[in-house]
């Protein structure tokens, strides 16, 4: 099977992730939580991806 070249070629469901945007959002969240003096407690229901939740 060949690599998909367009979004319509992707098998669904699938995750489409803008990694740079994700990293910016994680940094913003960490900064906000640091100001509040608390830590993040991510869960898989939000990300639905173990590697994303680990970030």
53: buried, middle or exposed (CB in 10 Å: 19+, 13-18, 0-12)?
middle
pTM of this structure: 0.66
Which pLDDT value is given to residue 1?
Answer: 61
1-51 residue pLDDT tens: 678 888 889 988 887 889 999 999 989 999 999 999 998 887 777 677 788
């Amino acid at each position: 099977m060949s690599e998909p070249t367009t979004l319509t070629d992707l098998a669904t469901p699938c995750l489409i992730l803008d990694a740079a945007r994700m990293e910016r959002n994680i940094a913003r969240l960490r900064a906000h939580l640091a100001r509040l003096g608390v830590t993040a407690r991510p869960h898989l229901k939000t990300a639905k991806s173990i590697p994303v939740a680990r970030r």
